Each structure stands twice: as structure tokens, then as C-alpha cells.
Structure 1
Amino acid sequence: MGLVACSPAHTTNPMPPRTRGMSVTWRVAVKPTCSRSSDRGNATLETAILAPGLLLLIAVLIGVGRTQHAHQAVESAARDAARQASIARTPAAATAQATSSAHEALRREGLRCHPLVTVNAAPLERPVGVPATITAQVICQLPLSDLLIPGLPGSTRVEGRFSSPIDPYRGR
């Protein structure tokens, strides 16, 4: 067996009192509390083993959250681009307004990328009264250093697409 370290601990159950005249004296029993010295340092060792794993888990969760935020921002930029293109009168104006809207939406969300915005503006040339939709697609190459860990090499492609209806009874 190993070394045993003992320390006294007072019990809460008092011994029967002894009386001396009018005063009462209580006696408290003292029991030694013993622990094995081989258990010392276990908490430190367990923390040293578990801490890197917990920190890695937290880093992965933060990375997943930031990546999802980037996907949502690009989807939002595509939605804004399609809406702006759907209210334009000409295909050239639709493309210009959609590109401007997508750039602004991504800047507002804090993403540093140069998006490729494609707009299918051909439905603007359909005759009045015919239902049509305009589709905008936004593609961004985001550096991993912006999403996960600063200085991390590489990039990821984030893509968003949205279709917006054109009012069939407005002038084109």
C-alpha cells in the first residue's frame, strides 16, 4: 500500500455532556479522515488530457458557425440581387443593379470576397402579361483564414441562387 495522509475532522454528533455545577461541557469526538496520496494530482492530469480536446471541439463549432454565416450571407446576396434585377426595365440595368446589390449585401455582412454575379435577364424581354422570373446566382471564393483560423491557407466556394418573379402587367 501507499502512504496515507490523515487529517482530523470533527464530527457533528457530540458526546454526552458532563456537568460541573451549573455549566454543561460538551465533548466533540474527532475522527481522522484519510486519503491515499496516489490520488493527488488526478484532477490536474484529467484537465491536461481533456482541455486540448475541448478546445478543438470549440474551435470546430466556431468554424462551422462562421461557415454557415457565410452561406447565409451569400444566399441573402443572391436574394437581394434577384429582387433588384426583377424591378429593372432592361437586361443591362438588371445585371448592373443585381451586381451592385450583391456587392453591397456581402460588404454589409463583412465577407471579403469578389463575387461572381450572373443574372438570367432574358425574361425581361417577354411581352407584357406573360409571367416570368429572373434568377440571380452569386458565387464567392472565401479564404479559410477569414472563416476559421487566421493564416490558414486555402479557400472555399460558397454559392447562392434565388429566383424572383417579374410583375406580368408592368411596362417593360
Structure 2
Amino acid sequence: MSARQRGRGRGQRRERERELERERGSLAVEAAIVAPVLLGLFCLVLLAGRAELQAGSVEEAARVAARAGSLDRSGDVQGVADKAARDSLSGAGVRCSNLRVSVGVEPLTGPPVPLNVVVVNVSCEVPVNDLSPVWVPGELTLNGGFRSVIDRYRSS
């Protein structure tokens, strides 16, 4: 290998070093741009997951309330179902800013005997801030409903 060829190798190496010098710090800039986007995506996924868990709890509260109302013998179906829904939501850790529990008894006609059905609809406004790891304004309205046939053979 001649001296001229060795010199070219050194020149290329210097050129490469200069190129690396110009790119120094670009990774920090890329990280500064990408990190907030990734953090925002993570928070969005977390918010969606927690909202879905809360929605499941509201559905469960409607189911529990309808079942409690269908087993009630005191005649206070509304009161029993309302208390059951509130107890279910508080047990699940759901904090509703505006909880509405509507209870109704509807006839269910059909052979061989007519039956009655307890219909419960639960509506709960949950502050979005309770769902998110960062402060987010607003409220999310979650709804759940369930129907339960009044048990004719329930114990007294």
C-alpha cells in the first residue's frame, strides 16, 4: 500500500469524524420530540382502559340492582334497587358526580303465565380526571341497564 493510499484512508476517516460531529445532539432532539408523543399515547391508552373498567362497574351495578329489586318482598323495589346500585358502585370504587338510578316494573306477557320484570337503568357521570394519570377536564357519562324477572318463588 502506497503512502498516497494511506493518506486517502486518513482523509476519509477525518471526513467521517466531521460528519459525526455535525450530527452530534440530533438524538436528543429526536427524543425531545418523540417522548411527549409516546407519553400522550400511553396516557390515552390508560384512560381508555380505566374508562372501560368503570363502564363495566356501572353495568354490574345495574345487574345487581335489578336482581335485588326482583328478589324484594317489601314492595319498595325502587329503594332496594337504588341502594344496591349505590353499594355496588361504592364497592367498585366508582365516584359518580351525578348518579341516576331509574327502576321500573314492567309486565312480561307470554305463555304459560304472565310475569313481571324489574328494569334498572344506571347513569353515572365520572370526572375524567379520576381516570387519567394527568389532569384532564370534563366528565364522562357511563350508562348501564339490566332486566331481571321477578322471582315468583323467592323466599319470604
Task: Give the TM-score band, short-chain normalised.
Answer: 0.7 to 0.9
- Pick the structure with more helix per residue: 2
RMSD between aligned residues: 2.8
So what's the TM-score if we normalise by structure 2? 0.75
What is the CA-CA distance between 1:41 and the residue it aligns to? 2.2
TM-score w.r.t. the length of structure 1 is 0.69
Structure possessing the higher relative contact order (Cα contacts under 8 Å, 6 or more residues apart): 2
Unaligned runs of at least 5 residues, structure 2: 1-11, 108-112
Quote the residue 2:45 is aligned against: 61
Q: Percent identity?
A: 33
Q: Which of 51, 68, 73 is 2:57 aligned to?
A: 73
Contact 2:127–2:139 (8 Å) recurs in 1: yes
Choose the corresponding residue for 1:44, options 4, 7, 28.
28
Number of equivalent positions: 139
Deviations 1:95-114 (A, max 9, x none): 11111111111101111115
Compared CA separation, residues 171 and 105, structure 1 to 2 (3 A): closer
- The runs of 5 or more residues in structure 1 that have no matched partner are 6-33, 124-128
Query: How big is the shift at 1:46?
Result: 1.6
How far residue 51 of structure 1 moved from its aligned partner, in angstroms, is: 0.5
- Report whether the alignment pairs 1:83 with 2:67: yes
Aligned to 1:111: 94
Mark the structure with the bigger radius of gyration: 1
One-letter code of the match for 1:130? P
> By percentage of residues, which structure has more strand?
1
